[in-house]
Structure 1
Amino acid sequence: MSSATRTKHDLIARIAAINIAVSLTVVTLKYVAYAVSGSVALFSDALESIVNVMTALAAYGAIRWSSKPPDSDHPFGHYKAEFIAAMFEGAMIAIAALLILYKAYSGLVHGVVFEQPGLGLAISVLSTVINGGWAWALIRWGTTHRSPALVADGQHLFTDVITSVGVVAGLAIAVATGWYILDPLLAGAVALHILYMGYRIATDSMSRLMDQAASPEIEGRIRGVIEANGHGALEAHDIRTRQAGRALFIEFHLVVPGSMSVDEAHDICDRIEHSIERSIEGSEVVIHVEPDHKAKPEASGAVPL
């Protein structure tokens, strides 16, 4: 692993460690908001943030594990550990949703008594502002550094922000109008929303664990780089990609003239590999060289050179 790659891994790990501290701060604020107000809706918000702490810990562990270099048992590295953390996050969200639904049902049956709703709302607004800023930063950094665990955490926090805004607005209406039944109803709506988001995070991570291909935009860039740097070869075909955490594995067949020497073909491969790896961060390229009678101009996605 190069020093630049190691530095990037360390940076992502530091961000994940800070994420744990931010999550602990937010969950403390939200629990205080629930404790002083007695609101079931604010309880649901606090419970989701407890899940945030658990998933922040899982994300940190996965990021540290995924940064380990390849070994004899894992020659392609440990990148997929981040997808496992994202799936764990989806499962934890689902559990939190069920607990919130139970609390909301209890509030509907037994009623809710507010104590200091104004103070609770003020503390909840503060925690929401912190969460919103941090969610934006996590998604931005996770996308920049190709970290699925950070992106998943940021997306989860962003849904937390959306639900918190809804809870605060609804609770303010309930206090102003005296319609206290809105409180457990809001908690139920929060539960259903985060249950859906947990499902989306888990299914997306499962798809990537099953070697999901790169996006059409990335695959288009790969073909463009091959076309621009493949002079001397005749064609590239059977281009395949698979995403594994921050790594993107790319492989394809490169057709060269049958009379070309091994050295010449190797030089072309080196030129293409280096160009792709410079253009697409985290890419690892494998090229299979074939003689001209193996050309497949009719193949889908073939790149004539």
Structure 2
Amino acid sequence: MSRAVNTAWGSVAVAIAVLALKAVAWWLTGSVALFADALESVVNVAAALAALAAVRYAALPADANHPYGHHKAEYFSAVLEGALILAAAFVILVEVWSSFSSPRIPDLTWPAAAVALAATAINALWCRHLFRRSAALRSPALKADARHLLSDVVTSVGVLAGIGLAAATGLWWLDPLLAGLTALNILASGAGLVRESVGGLMDEAVAPESLARIRAIVGQAAEGAIEAHDIRSRQAGRLAFIEFHLVVPGTMTVDEAHVITDRVEAALKAELGEAVITIHVEPEGKAKHSGVVVL
């Protein structure tokens, strides 16, 4: 079982545990804000399950119908998570409107606060771990899960602080107000996830800093060539696709050119990890004298 799949299983377990704790806190208090917080954890469970399915499918090897692999499956998971987040925000806003129409005072107790704090602490610790794992594994699905958890942690801290303030001041309208702010925060998180995921499905280029690093590596590793131009890239889950034209002296043999391309591929894969690299070798008459100039 891959490391990404193991991490995704961990997310499912954590999401279920946190949902149970938040549901208990809401049941003990009747707080609309804690209801909103618990509902976001329902989304967390669904998102974690979607991420698990996506990373399992993305880990499948290339086949006749998918010669470039199944890596883009992770983006579908992130889009689904964004849609679930938007749906949760809508349900919360409906509950907020109902609470303003028929106000009810939450029963805040120390046991309820302790349960809610424990759920938030667990989420925060797993969120930190998930960010590290998603970066190391270059997993869009795990990154989306980590970003949503971070939003959940920030929301939970704000909700607990606000409920405490409401209890101290007697201003109970703060409870539905905080739930409404939670919904807006969830909406922003969902919109961001959908935008990033759609970008991946549309074959967006790698990040500008990554592209600059690719150019630098090609320039350093392609000694013996004249230049490289028309560098193109895209990201598909953990897999990066890079292609460019490499101009070599017209008198260079195929074997000599092949040695250079092998060296460039090895350098790029050492930097990027999983990557599909296509290099089109051209004679010096095709030089554009633009792009990466190899010294």
Q: TM-score, normalised by structure 1?
A: 0.94
In the alignment, is the contact (CA less than 8 A) between 1:223 and 1:303 conserved in 2? no
- Matched AA of 2:293: V
Aligned with 2:137 (options 132, 138, 145): 145
CA shift for structure 1 position 113: 2.9
1:1-305 to 2 correspondences below 5 Å: 10-297=2-289, 299=290, 301-305=291-295
Rounded Cα–Cα distance in structure 1 between residues aligned with 2:69 and 2:260: 27
Rounded Cα–Cα distance in structure 1 between residues aligned with 2:87 and 2:51: 18
CA shift for structure 1 position 284: 1.8
CA shift for structure 1 position 176: 1.2
CA shift for structure 1 position 83: 0.8
Rounded Cα–Cα distance in structure 1 between residues aligned with 2:93 and 2:183: 6
CA shift for structure 1 position 137: 0.6
In the alignment, is the contact (CA less than 8 A) between 2:232 and 2:242 conserved in 1? yes
In the alignment, is the contact (CA less than 8 A) between 2:72 and 2:237 conserved in 1? yes
Rounded Cα–Cα distance in structure 2 between residues aligned with 1:104 and 1:172: 18
Secondary structure class of the residue paired with 1:196: helix
The superposition leaves residues 222-268 of structure 1 with CA deviations (integer Å, 9 ceiling, x where unpaired) of 12221222122111000111000000111000011112211111111
The superposition leaves residues 60-98 of structure 1 with CA deviations (integer Å, 9 ceiling, x where unpaired) of 000000001111111111101111101111100000000
**Number of residues paired by the alignment?**
295
CA shift for structure 1 position 302: 3.0
Rounded Cα–Cα distance in structure 2 between residues aligned with 1:249 and 1:283: 6
Q: TM-score, normalised by structure 2?
A: 0.97
CA shift for structure 1 position 288: 0.4
The superposition leaves residues 167-219 of structure 1 with CA deviations (integer Å, 9 ceiling, x where unpaired) of 00000011111111111111011001110110001101111111111122211
CA shift for structure 1 position 122: 1.9
The superposition leaves residues 94-144 of structure 1 with CA deviations (integer Å, 9 ceiling, x where unpaired) of 000000000111110011132344332221111001100111110111011
Structure 1: 5+ residue stretches without partners: 1-8
CA shift for structure 1 position 55: 0.4
In the alignment, is the contact (CA less than 8 A) between 2:144 and 2:193 conserved in 1? yes
Percent of pairs identical after alignment?
48
282-291 or 245-254, larger mean C-alpha shift: 282-291
In the alignment, is the contact (CA less than 8 A) between 1:296 and 1:302 conserved in 2? no
